[in-house]
Amino acid sequence: MTGTHEPIVVGFLNEWRNGVGYGTCAAYEPTGERAQLLHVVLDSGGARGQVDEYLKDGGHLLQEIVTRGYGAYITDPERETRVAALVVMGKARLSVELVRGVKGRDNAADLVALVKLIAPRLLAGAASPSPDTKTGG
């Protein structure tokens, strides 16, 4: 997905507070330059409007990955290998950014596949939806 073998990975994810996970994880080039490749954040700052902003900016709706979840992904028009996705479920928010993918690959498909893999597990214990994350609202 990043085209990098043996990246440096730091961080933590899936610690629970008040029913919502939190944490951050990042992968970097192994060269010591700290060039970020991938960044994942799980926190309790989620709101449906954040996903709507991705859509307004040209993003694409993600099919429901988790029950009551709402998400989208967007590619950076200036950097073809940069893609970001956001999934909210209640107040839980999962943000995944492929900072630097591989030129010539379908980086959006790679990121969506990763989100489909990790979102159900990371958002499994999320609190019930807040009023602003219900469909239609």
Q: Phi first, then psi: what are they for 56, rounded to 5°?
A: -65, -30
- Tell me the pLDDT of the chain averaged across its residues: 85
What pLDDT, on a 0 to 100 scale, did the predictor assign at position 126? 61
Alpha carbon distance 12, 23 (integer Å) = 5
pLDDT score of 17: 64
Q: What does the alpha-carbon distance between residue 49 and residue 47 come to, in Å, rounded to a whole number?
A: 5
pTM: 0.84
- Closest by alpha carbon to 29, among 2, 8, 10? 8
Alpha carbon 87 to chain centroid, angstroms: 6
Q: Is the pLDDT of residue 130 over 70?
A: no
Read off the pLDDT of residues 5-28 as tens digits, 9 standing for 90 and up: 899 999 987 656 666 678 899 999
